[in-house]
Structure 1
Amino acid sequence: MQAPQAKQIPQLLETHGHQRTDNYYWMRDRDNPEVIAYLNAENEYLKTSLKTTEDFQENLFQEMKGRIKEDDESVPYFKSGYFWYVKYETGGEYPLYCRKKGSLEADEEVFLDVNLLAEGKSYYQVGGTAATSDLKTLAFAADEVGRRIYAIHFKNLETGEILSDYIPEITGNYAWAEDNQTLFYTKQNPDTLRSHQVYSHKLGTTVAEDVLIYTEKDEEFSCVVHKTKSEKFILIHSESTISSEMRFLDASNPTGLFTVLQERIPHLEYAADHYEDYFWIRTNLKAQNFKLVKAPISNPQLENWEDVIPHRDTVLLEDFDIFSDFLVVQERSNGLCKINIKPWDGTEGHSLEFDDETYTAWISTNPEFNTAILRFGYNSLVTPASTFDYNMVTKEKTLLKQQEIVGGYDATAYTSARIWATAADGKMIPISLVYKIDTFSPDGSNPLLLYAYGSYGYSMDAYFSSSRLSLLDRGFVFAIAHIRGGEDLGRGWYEDGKMLKKRNTFTDYIHCAEHLIDEKYTSSDHLYAMGGSAGGLLMGAVMNLRPDLFNGLIAAVPFVDVVTTMLDESIPLTTGEFQEWGNPKDKEFYEYMLSYSPYDNVEAKDYPNLLITSGLHDSQVQYWEPTKWVAKLRELKTDSNLLFLHTNMDAGHGGASGRFNSLKEMALEYTFLFYLEKLI
């Protein structure tokens, strides 16, 4: 089948006296039938080109689905007299939200069945649920498009009745006041989707009667509303990439006025929770890796902040949780997570110990104050997701649940490791990897998939995936490059991979790829790259810089038209990301972005085999970015390698909804790799 060829309509774009011609700018109109026809043609081209693999894709989907326990449920947590949990039933795509009163032996109450709500819909996602403190009313947010535009619905938990109250076109973020009648929620700008307003809604009234509480006017900031763990305060948290500002209100006085905790200051970030007479605040005040301070509720301004855990140059303070007798802190040191426990009585604290060489650990759901039990989560590249209860007094650790792999899983058949590559400036870059022992050959002949993200300070920890076993069992090595732009090695690791240092992200990834080849984990003939969203930008940049390094590349919902997008303040995310990428209205940033923007740097040369995915309703990376990129690659590339674009016409940034539908997209991605490796 002939590959689709998009028509060209030259569009001249001029900035700072520099001119660019974009032949595919016309693809920005999703209401244009020609755009939809082109997307459908690309989907059909992919389907036809890989038609011989259809049975394999279906078998692979069933293989991955078959490892998942269909009748499964989360570990219940106790709050307000009930045990709360989520479960799935055999054949169900969507979760059931459940509770039991007083005891796990009590009768089960299914208070929300998402399978029923999703009937007849091509996409349905519940963004969260929240009950009033008297447990009489439930609020839940639902997205029926995939663009992360939600509507709030209300349910009477005593009668099961869906109430007439209905709040459309909101962010899905909300919190109940303690009067059990007032819901605070955030609303987004309809064009940019920036969360910029906080409203209050009183049960039994119309949306037209909702009260506007706060408007975030600075276009580089967005805002969320939430409740403290103590449930004593409602917080409005305004945040940009480099600055924060919080407001607080007594949750029992929903008609009162919010008070500013600490006014925004450039480069001052903070987030607060409440305990007794203080706000407890994680902040970067004179602390690049963050520290913990406390401030009296009566006067929480900056001058009254008192250090609780001071700044440390080699330890990143990521999170904290407060109990009546303990302070629990989640930290990161040398790229690995630590959980430290500090008694309030001043006695010596201690840390949880973990055995794997590379792993992920985190503070889990702990709604109760008056308990000595800490719930935490743990997994690694070889250890399935595990939930533990830990007695902070006796130091006894109890495994409550470990992800069950249907058909069995022998962790001893696989091995994981952490190795280090050297960057151009001498920095050491960690790489986590895993493979099946009996399929590995230390001669460079193994196929290897190298995954990375490298933006926004998001640390890409080593995690377990049952679906990934389909790669490992067929001889693949899977590796994660912990490159700059993430916070894997502390805040400085992030700062060295953003703005005018963004190229470090791309060169770090290239050095990781070269190191894996040098150490004979793979070769360029068998090396595959993968990243999504901002990780898709990474894919496009490294592909332009070193196309010879890879046999194939998968870019999922990739952010690739960097300059044009960051110049357009009318589309989602742009203004809020000037402190991540820079503002191209400044000539220095314009020229720097232009030097690496994947779309602007497509050239007439050979590229690897490519699979690029997209979502028509994507609110974060607009569908036209990967679409234009593919069209330009088809126009200019000089090789005969595969180039596929798959657009989910019913979904957005996160792909298909439902528990198993997303596996079909993963089966396509894995099939692409196996096809190139001649394993089909």
Structure 2
Amino acid sequence: MKKFYLGILIMSASTIQSQKFPVLKAPMAEKQEHIREIHGDKVNDPYYWMIDYFKKGKDSTKVVDYLKAENTYWESMMKDTEPFREKLFQEMKARIKEKDESVPVFKNGFYYYTRTEAGKQYFKYCRKKGSLTAPEEILLDVDKLAEGHAYYAASGFSISPDNTKMIYGVDDVSRRQYKLFLKDLSTGKITDLGIKNTTGSATWANDNKTIFYTAKNPETLLTEKIFRHTFGTDSTKDVLVYEEKDKTNYIGVGKTKNDKFILIDSRATTSSETRYLDANDPNGSFEIFQPRIKDVLYDVTSLEDKFLVITNKDALNFKVVETPLNETGVESWKDFIPHRNDVLMEDISAFKNYLVFSERQNGLSQLVIYDRKTGKKEFLKFDEPVYTVYPSGNPEYNTDNFRFGYTSMITPSSQYEQDLKTGKRTLLKQQEVLGGYNKENYITERLFATAKDGTKIPISIVYKKGFKKDGNSPLLLYAYGSYGSSMDATFSSTRLSLLNRGFAFAIAHIRGGQEMGRQWYEDGKMMKKKNTFTDFIDAGEYLVKEKYTSSKHLYAQGGSAGGLLMGAVVNMSPNLWNGVISQVPFVDVVNTMLDESIPLTTNEYEEWGNPNNKDAYFYMKSYSPYENIEKKNYPNILVTTGLHDSQVQYFEPAKWVSKLRDMKTDKNVLLLKTDMDYGHGGASGRFDYLKDISLVYAFMFKLEGINK
């Protein structure tokens, strides 16, 4: 098998002829006139009726019939790849250690971990008291609970301070609307608390009988209210402790690491506000830490004698300030770690004797250890040119051991523990890739493309040794570019199925993310959103120019807001790509942002703009993929969605594909796959998602003529 992969790797892609798709009639969706008129602009949206399954309208059944027809079409078009897809699935599955166990995490006298069993899709959540040699206690057998469910997600495991009870959330629809359950760990009894439509987690007060949880609006799915529930009382009488009136804000509730305070966080893209309550006084009133200020974000960390606050007040890249426990207003904030123009401050991991700061510089993540007694700083150093490092599994406050994760595009996910006193570093676990994996057989690089405005765009790339930079090799370029989310370079065992067949894989760190600091995000949102799209195109053109690939062998992939990116770049530069994979794509930007009944719409105003504003409307309309489809040639496109998607509703990709089918002038393939059981994140089992990856890979391999 290894020899075969090497043979494919050194074979010139130009010698392989693209496999042909069968000539079949694609579904053509019905058109119905629907006029959108705003700001003096009148637009006919002939596929608006596809919203009816979501709206429970008259054409609800017709929508489902259309989606099923599209599913039949893609299945027929990809029928000949079924054996290959099964081979890819088994190949990727075979690299995953089926019987596995996470690194135990110590908290309040117990070691907590999850473990998986061979042949099982889910996991068991377990603990051991005091020592890793103690008897195992299975807190939750998710494999058993998931039986009979097409989708099952259990999350938010939260143990009471006295270690006797556990709260967890369950979503069995894939709409991210969780029900809360209580398990008595002494008797094993599970109680449905009757609390529905939550985010899936709850926060314990220190009395072991009171929890706080976040409730969602059942239609918009916005997080709107925080309730207090006391065990033994009717959940319908739970006490409302906070209600968010601003529909652009997300809210949540949590607890400080030192267990001193309950925090309620209200946050939009550009401003935030925190309320705090003594965790020993759950029936008390929450106090405002600092009233929200326009364009000011802040995050609170509790120490014994003061609060630390990460904020962008007068600090574009954020800084750390300190303030007394009894004087939390901005007038009392004093610099602790001043602002730096070249370093983005992201997070604080607090311990009794140390702090660990998560920062980002020159596009790379970094960790800095700070000794609270001496003020001494130490940077953790790593050798690879492109990597990702992050805190991992540190719930205990009273410890001098710090755990962090490390990975790169060639280094499997690794978890380390560092003694903060001595500096001794221990590898606790590295992701095991079954079947054999040698990182020395792969190469990772960091490249920089130059955007049209002169900005340098980082690109992380990986390929197998022997990859020829002659313009004939296939390459998959991925990006996201929204919400300030940084797409860091990480390892993927499934990606080996691409690399071993001659593909290179690259991540374009485009504006709209936060890889190069806060300004990187600011320059890729709202009225500068088009920078995100042009950066990606410029990255693709750079890779072609440098002969990593050519337009005949260049593929693009993105999901959700990254799916918007895919929709935009195929309109703006359709001839650059041979194939595009657009997953759960946010492509009907204007119509969605005009409809406040659609989940999460109002939360997004500070990311995209509010189209009720004339300038925002016309700018949004100028790039929205659905609005800008033209009569021209488009590349081969695979689109995926989920009927129960709560983040990007199914009708966006369905409308986009329908309009593309009607308008495009080429004979390239356009496929729409709708998962009728799942939502935004796909399947819930730990192996089912591999089938979706197999389809994506088979789609590209078919276009490249690779069938083994």
Q: Same fold (TM over 0.5)?
A: yes
Cα separation, 2, equivalents of 1:634 and 1:368: 55
Aligned match of 1:591? 618
SS at match of 1:285: coil
1:27 aligns to 2:50 (yes or no): yes
Partner of 1:561: 588
Q: Distance in 2 between matches of 1:404 and 1:272?
A: 37
Residue 95 (1) aligns with residue 142 (2)? no
Q: Is the 8 A contact 1:173 1:224 kept in 2?
A: no
Query: What is the alpha-carbon distance in structure 2 between the residues aligned to residue 164 and residue 644 of structure 1?
Result: 42
| Secondary structure at 1:47 match in 2 | helix
Query: Which of 456, 460, 482 is matched with 2:483 structurally?
Result: 456
1:527-547: per-residue Cα shift (whole Å, max 9, x none)? 000000000000000100000
Q: Which amino acid aligns with 1:527?
A: L
Aligned residue runs from structure 1 range 185-334, under 5 A: 185-334=213-362
Matched, 1:64 2:92: yes
**Cα displacement (A) at 1:433:** 0.2
Amino acid corresponding to residue 514 of structure 1 in structure 2: E
| Cα pair 1:173 1:225 within 8 Å, conserved | no
Deviation readout 1:466-493 (Å, 9 max, x if unpaired): 0000000000000000000000000000
Structure 2 residue 471 is the aligned partner of structure 1 residue 444: yes
1:623 maps to which residue?
Answer: 650
Decide whether the 8 Å contact of 1:282 with 1:319 is kept in 2: yes
Q: 1:520 — aligned with what?
A: 547
1:111 partner letter: L
Contact (CA 8 Å) 1:139, 1:153: kept in 2 or not?
A: yes
User: 1:563-608 CA distances to partner (integer Å, 9 max, x unpaired)?
Assistant: 1111111111111111111111111111101100000001110000
CA gap of 1:342–1:164, structure 2 versus 1, over 3 A, is closer
Kept after mapping to 1: 8 A contact 2:476/2:504: yes
* Preserved CA contact (<8 Å) 1:165 1:205: no
Per the TM alignment, residue 424 of structure 1 is displaced from its structure 2 partner at its CA by 0.9
Mapped to 1, the partners of 2:193 and 2:608 lie a distance apart of 41
Q: Is 2:501 the partner of 1:474?
A: yes
What is the CA deviation profile of residues 159-193 of structure 1, one whole-angstrom value per residue up to 9, with x for unaligned ones? 11112533112121320111100110000111111
CA separation in 2, counterparts of 1:593 and 1:196?
Answer: 27
Q: Which has the higher contact order (CA 8 A, sep 6+)?
A: 2
C-alpha displacement of 1:385: 0.2
Query: What value does the CA root-mean-square deviation take over the aligned residues?
Result: 0.8
Alignment-derived partner of residue 383 in structure 1 = 411
What secondary structure does 1:171 align onto?
Answer: strand
Report the Cα offset of residue 309 of structure 1: 0.4
Query: What amino acid does structure 2 have at the position aligned with 1:21?
Result: N
Measured in 2, the distance between the counterparts of 1:188 and 1:470 equals 40
2-structure distance, mates of 1:241, 1:126: 28
Q: Residue type of the partner of 1:398?
A: T
Verify the 8 A CA contact 2:558 2:565 in the aligned structure 1: yes
Say if 2:149 is the partner of 1:121: yes
Cα shift at 1:459? 0.3
In structure 2, C-alpha distance between the alignment counterparts of 1:427 and 1:638, rounded to whole Å: 34
Amino acid at match of 2:532: T
SS at match of 1:187: strand
Q: Is the 8 A contact 2:489 2:507 kept in 1?
A: yes
Q: Percent identity?
A: 55
> Partner of 1:503 in structure 2?
530
Hey, what's the Cα distance between the residues in 2 that align with 1:360 and 1:96?
28
Q: Is 2:29 the partner of 1:2?
A: no
Quote the residue 1:155 is aligned against.
Answer: 183
C-alpha distance in 1, partners of 2:326/2:203? 23
Secondary structure (helix, strand or coil) at the match of 2:289 reads strand
- Partner SS state of residue 555, structure 2: strand
Q: 1:40 matched to which residue of 2?
A: 68
1:137 corresponds to which of 156, 159, 165: 165
Counterparts of 1:304 and 1:401 in 2: how far apart (Å)? 43
State the SS of the aligned residue for 2:28: coil
- The match for 1:351 is 379
How far apart are the structure 2 equivalents of 1:622 and 1:593?
19
Matched with 2:393 is 365
Q: TM-score, normalised by structure 1?
A: 0.99
Aligned length: 679
Q: Which amino acid aligns with 2:612?
A: K
Counterparts of 1:54 and 1:442 in 2: how far apart (Å)? Answer: 31
Distance in 2, matches of 1:141 and 1:5, equals 41
Rounded to whole Å, the distance in 1 between the matches of 2:71 and 2:526 is 35
Deviation >6 Å, runs of 4+: none
Q: 1: distance between equivalents of 2:619 and 2:593?
A: 13
**Residues of 1 paired with 2:613 and 2:518: CA distance?**
25
2:433 matches 1:405: yes
Distance in 2 between residues matched to 1:225 and 1:279, nearest whole Å:
18
Give 2:16's aligned residue.
Answer: none
What whole-Å deviation, never above 9, does each CA across 1:623-668 have from its counterpart, x for those lacking one?
A: 0000000000111100010000001111111011110011111111
Q: Which runs of 5+ in 1 are unaligned?
A: none
2:168–2:201 contact (8 Å) kept in structure 1: no
Asked if the contact 1:84–1:98 (Cα under 8 Å) also holds between the matched residues in 2, the reply is: yes
Distance 2:603 2:469 in 1: 46
Q: What amino acid maps onto 1:515 in structure 2?
A: Y
The reply on whether 1:674 has 2:674 as its aligned counterpart is no
For residue 578 of structure 1, the aligned residue among 590, 601, 605 is 605
**Counterparts of 1:580 and 1:161, CA distance in 2:** 44
SS, match of residue 604 in structure 2: helix
- With 171-180 and 545-554 compared, the bigger mean Cα shift is at 171-180
Aligned counterpart, 2:10 = none
Note closer, same or farther for the CA distance 1:465–1:164 as it changes in structure 2 (3 Å cut).
Answer: closer
**Is the contact between residue 281 and residue 294 of structure 1 (CA under 8 Å) also seen in structure 2?**
yes
Check conservation: 2:309, 2:322, Cα contact below 8 A. yes
Secondary structure of residue in 1 paired with 2:356: strand
**Which one of 192, 195, 199 corresponds to residue 167 of structure 1?**
195
SS at match of 2:534: helix
Q: Tell me the CA shift for residue 347 of structure 1.
A: 4.7
Trace 1:545-556 onto structure 2 (pairs within 5 A).
Answer: 545-556=572-583
CA contact (8 A) 1:165 1:204 kept: no
Counterparts of 2:704 and 2:138, CA distance in 1? 46
